[in-house]
Amino acid sequence: MPRGDGMLTHELDPQDRGPQDACGVFGIYAPEEEVSKLTYFGLYALQHRGQESAGIASSSGDKILVYKDMGLVSQVFDEGSLSALRGHIAVGHARYSTTGASTWANAQPTLGPTKHGTVALGHNGNLTNTHTLLDLVTERLGADRRASLEHGGATDTAILTALLGWDRYETVTETALELLPHVEGAYCLAFMDEETLYAARDPQGVRPLVLGRVPSGGWVVASETAALDIVGAIFEREVEPGEFLTIDASGVHSRHFAKAKPKGCVFEYVYLARPDTHINGRSLQAARVEMGRQLAREAPVEADMVMPTPESGTPAAVGYAQGSGIPFGQGLVKNAYVGRTFIQPSQTLRQLGIRLKLNPLREQIEGKRLVVVDDSIVRGNTQRAVVAMLRESGAAEVHLRISSPPIQWPCFYGIDFPTRDELIGVRMSVNEIRDHLGADSLSYISVEGMIAATEQAEERLCTACFTGEYPIEPPINAKHLLVNQPVEVTS
C-alpha cells in the first residue's frame, strides 16, 4: 500500500509490505466554510492511513449526500464531485481494509437509517467482538438484518452503522451512548446525521483522535493534528479515551460512556502517523529523532556515514548521526512518482529488485562503511534487497540499525501485520536475520529505549506487537494468528 506522504519503505517489495494502518477519519461542522473541500484536504493529509478508497458525506441540514470510490483521495474527487457535496457538516474517510474485502461496497462513510433520518459513519481501528455485536443486531434489528450484513461481508463499520439505527431511542446520541459500552477493540469514529456531527474514541484510546477549532466558527475532528494544520484549524485537545462528542450549532458537548484506560499504540510514534503530527503533546518527528539517538547509544558502530532507507527511516537516521557523531548522508534516491502498480513485473524487472523506487548514489556509497537506519523489519525482503544494492555499489560495510524492536506478535487493533509465522522476528534470531539480510551487523532499539523516546508513561502505551501483552482481549476467531502462543492480557 503506497503511503501518500511518501513514508512507506516496505511497499518497495509488494511481498514485504510494512505495517498497514486501517484508516483515517475527518469530520467538520463549520457553517461559514465549504466543508467538502476542507474535508478533501483533511483526507489528503491523512492519505498515509489508507489508500484503497476514499469518501465524503455532507449535509446542509435536510439530507445527507455521499460520494465515495476506490482509489486515492486525489483520484476519487474533483471539483465537480466536491461542489455537489453541499452543506455545513461533513465526514470523510480514507480506507485500508483490515476487515472486509477491498471493494466499493465496503468504502466509507457507510450509510444507514435511523429513527428520524440517516447516519453516515467513518471508522478507524478494528473491533474485537464483532460476533457479539452481530448477536446484538439479531436481538435488536432481527435475523434478516443480520443475514443481510453477513451476506455483505459484515465489516465492523457496517455493523456499527446498523446498530446506530435501533429505533428504541429518539436520538442518535441516546442510541450511541447505549451502544458504545458494548463495543470492544480499537475505534475512532466520526459520524453524522442530517444536523449533528459526532465523534467517539474507545476507552483505551488505541488510535489517535483530535479536536480542533475552525477560526471562522466551527469544529473539526481528525485522526491526526496534521489534518487540522492543513485546513487551518487550531488544535484544541485530544478526544479522550471513552469520550463521546456531539457538535452542532450550540457547540461541542462531551459525555463519557466508559472509564478511560489509556493504551495508545506505540507504533504510531515509531511509524504510522505523519512526522509532523503530535500525539499527547509529543512531536512524532522529535520522538523518531530521539529513537535514533537512543539507538546510537545502545548499538554503536564505527562507520563513515549514516543513511536512511527513504523516507520513514530518515528522522531516526538523523538522530543516529547526532548521537554517534558520524556524518549523515543520502545514499539512496527515491522516485516520488512511483505508486502502486498492478502490472506484474517480468523476470528481468524482478531481478532488478527495488530499483524502480530506490536507486543508489554510488559516489556517496563506494568504499564507505555505512549505517543504514530503518523503522522496522517485517519480512525482511526489502532490507535484504537494499543491502545487496549497497554492496553492488561498492559499500565496504553495511550495518543495519532499526528504530523499533523486533515485531513478534500480530495486531488486533487496526494494523494489518502478517501472521505470526510470517514475521522474520519470530522465525529467526537477530544474528540469523543479520545473516539472512547479508548485513555486517544488525541491531534493534530496546523496548525501553523506544518507550523513553515517546515521553509517554509505559503503562499508557500498547506494545503488544513487540511484547505480546494485549490490553484488549484478542477476538476469538483470530486466536489462530497467535500460533498457539500464550496471550497475556494486561489491565
Cα–Cα distance, 398 to 53 (Å, whole number): 39
Per-residue pLDDT of 19-49, as tens digits, reads 555 689 999 999 999 999 999 999 999 999 9
Whether 462 is catalytic: no
**What is the residue extent of each domain of the chain?**
10-262, 283-489
Q: What is the pLDDT of residues 262-313, one digit of tens each?
A: 999 999 999 999 999 999 999 999 999 999 999 999 999 999 999 999 888 9
List of residues 6+ apart from 414 with CB closer than 8 A = 21, 22, 23, 98, 124, 125, 126, 186, 206, 207, 265
Give the residue, 485 or 282, on which the prediction is more confident: 282
Give the pLDDT of residue 337: 66
- What lies within 8 Å, CB to CB, of 151 at 6+ separation is none
Helix, coil or strand: residue 5: coil
Q: How confident is the model at residue 3 (pLDDT cuts 50, 70, 90)?
A: very low
Q: Is the pLDDT of residue 350 over 70?
A: no
Which is it for strands 461-462 and 264-265: parallel, antiparallel or unpaired? parallel
Range in 193-197, 260-264, 417-421, 458-462 the model is least confident about: 417-421
User: Which pLDDT tens digit goes with each residue over 248-260?
Assistant: 999 999 999 999 9
Residue 422: band (very low, low, confident or very high) from pLDDT cuts 50, 70, 90: confident
For residues 39-67, average pLDDT? 96
Which helix H or strand E contains 369, and what residues bound it? strand 369-374
Residues 164, 169, 175, 179: is their CA dihedral positive or negative?
negative
Question: Three-state DSSP class for 238?
Answer: strand
Per-residue pLDDT at 234 exceeds 60: yes
Residue 6's pLDDT is 26
Phi, psi of 278 (to 5 degrees): -115, 135
- In the chain, pLDDT over 70 holds for what percent of residues? 87
Structure confidence at residue 286 (pLDDT): 98
Architecture of domain 283-489 in CATH? Answer: 3-Layer(aba) Sandwich (3.40)
And the C-alpha cell for 381?
A: 525482503
- Indicate if the pLDDT at residue 479 is higher than 70: no
Cis peptide before 109 (omega within 30 of 0): yes
The C-alpha cell of 224 is what? 491526526
Distance CA 63, CA 118 (A): 8
User: What confidence score (pLDDT) does residue 335 get?
Assistant: 80
With a cut of 90, say whether residue 97 has pLDDT above it. no
Could you write out the DSSP letters of every residue in 418-476? PPGGG-HHHHS-HHHHHHHHT-SEEEE--HHHHHHHHTS-GGGEE-HHHH-EESSPPPG
- 421: pLDDT confidence band, cut at 50, 70 and 90? confident
Residue 1: which pLDDT band, with cuts at 50, 70 and 90? Answer: very low
Amino acid identity for residue 472 in this structure: I
What confidence tier does 356 reach under pLDDT thresholds 50, 70, 90? confident
What pLDDT was estimated at residue 344?
53
Contact assessment for residue 126 and residue 159, using Cβ atoms and an 8 Å cutoff = no
User: Directed axis angle between helix 447-454 and helix 284-298, to 10°?
Assistant: 150
* Predicted model pTM: 0.90
CATH number for the region 10-262 comes to 3.60.20.10
